[in-house]
Each structure stands twice: as structure tokens, then as C-alpha cells.
Structure 1
Amino acid sequence: MKKYDFIIAGGGMAGLSLAYYLTSSALRDRSILILERDLKNRNDRTWCFWEKETGPFEPILFQKWDTALFYGPGYTGRLGMGGYRYKMLRGIDFYAFVEEHLAKFPNVERRQATINRIKDTPQGGFVIADDEPYLADYVFDSTFQLSLDQPERHNLLQHFKGWFVETERACFDPAIPTIMDFRAEQHGDCRFVYVLPFDTNRALVEFTLFNDRLLTEAEYEYALRHYLSQHVDTGAYQITDVETGVIPMSDVPTTELPSEHIIRIGTSGGYTKPSTGYTFNRSQRYLRELVDNLASREKPARDVSWFKRRFALYDSIFLNVLENHRYPADALFTRIYARNPGRVFRFLDEDTTLFEEIRLFATMPIGPFLKGLVDVLRRKIISR
């Protein structure tokens, strides 16, 4: 049985990003094995994120915008983004880019296999995939499934269906995406549509929900058809592609370092922002820090100060407000975005100061969030 320096269990976004950063660091000559069940040769997903600086995947961005539209009760207009740009990256472009990069390194192996088991041993991290054993100094695991049935926690889902459409009429402004449109029927949930235009006749139109129940295919499709008929002057249109997804919005804790030789990454490692479901840019940030730590200290642990952990409390309170319908979700998001231009993006990136956070909290409905805070603290006490 061959032993590797690193095994990456799961070759999706987190695993491939990690391989990219490892081979772009002082660790580039280490032996690396990537195990992934699926061939990454199709456009199976789209990632959107905001960013100020030029990121490592800037050359392959499918689209980027300097401003965005927002539609909510009492507010319709452009959002000030405070120097951020909203960016869109297609899965197929990301996979091809990383594949081309990794092909330069003969020390990186790729194997298509289903992972059966991962465990720690005194000799290193041990993986069985398609009944074959593998061993490494470190196993980076993005396959661990979070337990989303803990009643003392908040367990919502972000689920969506998007249509890539081509329209008869020139009805989109390619310079301005719609980041949130709450003119969708709410039905007591948090439901919105976002529109990412590629040119005047092509766009991704995506219907998104934050709740705890998936819809039927007919319900997603009805919402998309209804939105296009009511709010976009498309004329005839055709659907050229479809994307769907489900992302956990949960404050269920996960152990990033469950044992000496195993490190969880991606959603498995707690990289998903619980209150928004955004994962891509947080993963890039955390993985760069992880690789820097390995390269400089040979230790994988990320340093998270006690003060930085305040954002986890904020996430739990926000999820509590949404889960318990303490305030209409469309009005809540409208207050957040309309009254905090620029600041809201820094806050969601966890880059704000405490003073900026207090200013943002002052724009929120105090009563519902105080009730949410009390309930979160109560749940924490009960779970101990």
C-alpha cells in the first residue's frame, strides 16, 4: 500500500481548490492523491460571490458586475457595493482550469473512485475507496455529511432551480444583475429570484428559497415561469440549460480537525456561511490559510480567535429569526441591503469592525432579534 503526503477525499470545488493552492505553494512537490467519484467534465453548477481584489480565478470568470439591482418591499434600486464586484464562475471552467494546472505536476494523481471509509490510524489517515486502501500523512475530507437533525440547532436549507434562458426580445441589461428580487410570491417563506445577465438576450434566472422543505419540480418551474411572464419582457424564450442545488444553512457544529491526520474541508469543515449559504469565497480564504499553515508550521490548524467567533453567534440569531418567522424575510433582507450599502458585503465576509456591526444592527428590527438572541442562548444552555 503506497503512502502519500496528502490525500484529498472528494474532488469537487473544495478539494480541487486545495490541490491548486498546495501546488502553488512550497508544498508543490509533495505526493498528492485526489479521489473523486464523478468525472468533472460538465457544467454542473455555478458559483457567485463578491470580491474586491483580483482572485486566482479571475481569468476564467464567466461574468462580473460593478453594481446590482435589488427589489424588496419599500425599496427598488441599485445597491452600492462599496468597491466589491459581483462575480460568476461556471463549474466547467473551474474544473478545466484546475485540471490544466494540476497536469503540470507528476506528483499529483487523480483516481475516479467511490470513498467507502475514512479513519485515523497511528500510521496516518486511512482511506478505502472502491475497496482499495490508501494511506497519507493527512487526509483532507470534503465528504463528511453534517447531521442536520439536531433539534437544538437551526437547520434550514437553501434550495434553488435556475434556467439558462435565451429570449426573443432584448430584455436584459448585461451590466446589471438582479441580486435579489422579492416580487416572487413568499408563501410565508423567504423566496426570491436572481437574474444574472450575460447579454441582452441571455441570462440565468434562478428561483431560490430559504426554508426547511424542498418543493416539487412543478413548484420550482411554476415560480420561474410566473416570474418571467410577470417581470421580464422576454417574448418567446427557450431554456438552454438547468441547474439545481441544495445547500445547508445550519449552525450545526462540525469539527474541522476531528483527529490527528484528518482535516475536514468545504461544507464538511464548516466553510459554508450558515446565514447565507455562500461557500465559494469562504472556502478559498480558509484553504489558503490552511496551506499557509502547513507550509510554514507543518500544522493544519487555522487560528480562529474567540472574538472572531462572534460571527457564528450572529449567524445563529439570524437563522433563528428566519426559522421562527419572527419578521417577514423579504422586509428583513430589504432593511439589511438598502440601509447598509457596502457595509453589508463586508459584514457577510466577516471583515467588519465591531463598531460597523453595531451600526448595521441598528438598522434591524430590534424585537425579533432580541427574541432570537434569547432563544439561541436558551438552546445553547439546553444542549450542554
Structure 2
Amino acid sequence: DDFERLVSRDLARSPNVRRLEATVEAVEDVPGGALVHLRDTGGRARVLSARWVLDSRPLGSLPAARTTLLQHFHGWFVRTARPAFDPAVVELMDFRTPQPAHGLSFGYVLPTGPCEALVEYTEFSRRTLAPDRYEAAVRHYADEVLRLGERRILATETGVIPMTDAPIARQTGASVFRIGAAGGATRPATGYTFAGLQRQTRAVADALRHGRRPLPPAAHPARSRVMDAVLLRALDSGRADGPDLFARLFTRVPMARLLRFLDGDTRLYEDLSIGLRTPVKPMLRSALELPRLPRRPFDPPPPTPPSAAPHLPPTETA
């Protein structure tokens, strides 16, 4: 919210920016530019003509990939009756959650004050859950793991982030480009998108200032994408234990370096040092296997029904 307010304030002050809120129904590439077909807040159809279009709408379907997992989550913005959080501490991956038969799960806590926080349950797996299972998972984490006690739920958030090694096109027409998650800004092995999107927007702004085509660059180096493909394969195949792998990283890699790695901002020697902190044999086997794997379209299985939800013993915290 703070970031959105900051950007909105600066846009409102700029004489060169016109902000239009509407639902984009289609983007059409035409000679010399593009047409954006809109439906405004009053329900009226409109067409906007543009020289360039940067399209961040979610993809209708994912490209063919060797491995595709889903990072799906549900969170509560809570206010507790007593101080329950340390505003200076973020819990990125708390593995004291029941682990699914395939993939991994963890809790996430982002405090905004001693009594306020976003408390979230997240899974990396091939399929999403039934809605009531998300509520049950967050409630279990809040009550049985964090022991928050009396609290009030102020708001909720739910989402699904594809974690895929599929190549994602950043251009769909002569004047139409994809940006953000739709343009490959998401880090495949973590779901982190914000830093990659900032790199893309800086490059686009620089291109426009200098009169060049504003094609968003690849948000993450090829080296990072290869490492992510190996990690995704190791997790999806079950060769690597997800909680153990991430716990190793958080306990054996300096935190500043690890956070830069998660954002795709490390150098080659740092990537190699981080790779040596992972289970080497499962990762090496996955790396050797990747070139032989075919890329297949992603056909997501139906959500896990309530009766099939996992209930395994909790593991460790990173």
C-alpha cells in the first residue's frame, strides 16, 4: 500500500501522465501501434490507440515446460488482543506446517506492528486446495503454531503463482510487450517478482527516454533460470526434501547474500557457493536429467478435496 501511494502521488503530479481505469478485454497489434479494447467503470466499450502497449495481464495458459509447480497461498491480515509479533522480524519460511505428500508447505509472517501482521499459509505443489482447506491451514498455523490467541481478521488475500521453467515470450506483437509476471519477471524457484519487475520498468523507462523500442529485458539472468529449473525438478521429483533444502540455505548462507540470490542479484561465484549448500547429489542428478526431458503443456489437476488434504507431523523452521 505504501508503494502504491508513493507511485500514485508521483503520477498525479506529472503533467505527462494520464491515468485511465478500465477493464482491458483485448489488445490488438496494428500497423504503427496497437489498439486496447476497454470497458470503462460505467460498462461502456472504448478503444484506446497507443504507440506501445506494455501488457501485464495474467497469461491465459502457461507455455510448455519441463517442470511446473504452483505456489498457492492464503493469508490473514490479523490484529491480536496482545502483542504477538516482533515488527523487526519477518518469518519467510516456517516449516512447522503439515507437509503435503508432494511438494512443500510453510507459514509466512510479515508484521506491521506488535499486534498486526499478515499471517499466511503457502504450498509449492502441482495442484491448489479446496477453499475450506486454505482457511483450515491458516487457522491451524495461527492457533497451533503461532498461538496468537484472541485476534480479529481484518482482511484476507489468496493467490496462485506459477513456478515454471517454461520460456515466456516478452513480445506478442510489433508494438505489444509483456511485462511483470506475464513477461517472466517472476523468479521460477521462489515466486519473487517485485525486484525483477523493477529491473524491467527501469529498462523500459530508459529505452523510452532514448527513443528505443521498450522491450522489457529478461528479468533474471540465464544462469539463475538454469539453477531454478534444476531446483524445480529436484522438488517435483521428490529427490530433494523441500524443508530440508531451504533450511540448509537459510542456516548456511549469509542472509544478505541469500536475499540477493532470491531476487536474482548474485554473481556467479556467489551462486556456486550457494549451490554447494544444497543437497548436491539430488541437484546434480536433476541437472543431468533436464536436457532429456520434453516440454509439455501444463494441465493443472483439480484442487485437492478436503478429505485428501495432508496431515503429517510438522518439521523444522527456517
TM over 0.5, shorter chain: yes
What is the deviation of 1:299? 2.6
Instruction: Give 3-state SS (helix, strand or coil) of 1:157's partner.
Output: strand
Distance in 1, Cα, partners of 2:195 & 2:274: 22
Contact 1:169 1:233 in 2 (8 A): no
Which letter maps to 2:153?
I
What is the deviation of 1:145? 0.9
Q: Which residue of 2 aligns with 1:366?
A: 280
2:111 pairs with 194, 197, 201, which one? 197
Contact 2:171 2:178 in 1 (8 A): yes
Between 1:223-232 and 1:180-189, the stretch displaced more is 223-232
From the superposition, tell whether residues 380 and 348 of structure 1 become closer, same or farther in structure 2 (CA, over 3 Å). Answer: farther
> In percent, how many aligned pairs have the same letter?
39
Matches within 5 A, 1:91-110: 93-110=2-19
- 1:116-145 per-residue CA deviation (whole Å, 9 max, x = no partner) reads 221222221222223432222111111251
Matched, 1:344 2:258: yes
What is the deviation of 1:272? 0.9
Distance in 1, Cα, partners of 2:58 & 2:90: 34
Matches within 5 A, 1:22-41: none
Which letter maps to 1:142?
S
Matched, 1:129 2:43: no
Distance in 2, Cα, partners of 1:194 & 1:225: 13
Matched, 1:207 2:121: yes
Q: Which residue of 1 aligns with 2:176?
A: 262
In structure 2, stretches of 5+ residues that fail to align are: 40-44, 298-318
Instruction: Give 3-state SS (helix, strand or coil) of 1:238's partner.
Output: strand
Q: Which residue of 2 aligns with 1:327?
A: 240
Distance in 1, Cα, partners of 2:77 & 2:24: 33
Q: Which residue of 2 aligns with 1:42?
A: none
Distance in 1, Cα, partners of 2:86 & 2:217: 43
Which letter maps to 2:34?
G
Distance in 2, Cα, partners of 1:200 & 1:227: 18
Q: Which residue of 2 aligns with 1:300?
A: 214
Contact 1:144 1:264 in 2 (8 A): no
Q: Which residue of 2 aligns with 1:163?
A: 76
Q: Which residue of 2 aligns with 1:112?
A: 21
Contact 1:147 1:252 in 2 (8 A): no
Matches within 5 A, 1:230-245: 230-245=144-159
Which letter maps to 1:98?
V
User: Which of 1 and 2 has higher RCO (CA within 8 Å, sep 6+)?
Assistant: 2
- TM-score of the superposed pair, with normalisation by structure 1: 0.70
What is the deviation of 1:181? 0.5
In structure 1, stretches of 5+ residues that fail to align are: 1-89
Which letter maps to 1:162?
G
Matched, 1:318 2:231: yes
Instruction: Give 3-state SS (helix, strand or coil) of 1:326's partner.
Output: coil
Contact 1:257 1:264 in 2 (8 A): yes
Distance in 1, Cα, partners of 2:16 & 2:73: 38
Structure 1 moving runs of 4+ over 4 Å: 302-305, 380-383
Contact 2:69 2:236 in 1 (8 A): yes
Distance in 2, Cα, partners of 1:315 & 1:146: 23
Contact 1:320 1:372 in 2 (8 A): yes
- 1:17-47 per-residue CA deviation (whole Å, 9 max, x = no partner) reads xxxxxxxxxxxxxxxxxxxxxxxxxxxxxxx
Distance in 1, Cα, partners of 2:195 & 2:58: 20
1:277 pairs with 187, 191, 194, which one? 191
From the superposition, tell whether residues 340 and 143 of structure 1 become closer, same or farther in structure 2 (CA, over 3 Å). Answer: same
Distance in 2, Cα, partners of 1:173 & 1:382: 45
Distance in 2, Cα, partners of 1:275 & 1:381: 17
What is the deviation of 1:356? 1.8
What is the deviation of 1:210? 0.9
Q: Which residue of 2 aligns with 1:184?
A: 97
Contact 1:149 1:155 in 2 (8 A): no
Distance in 1, Cα, partners of 2:47 & 2:66: 36
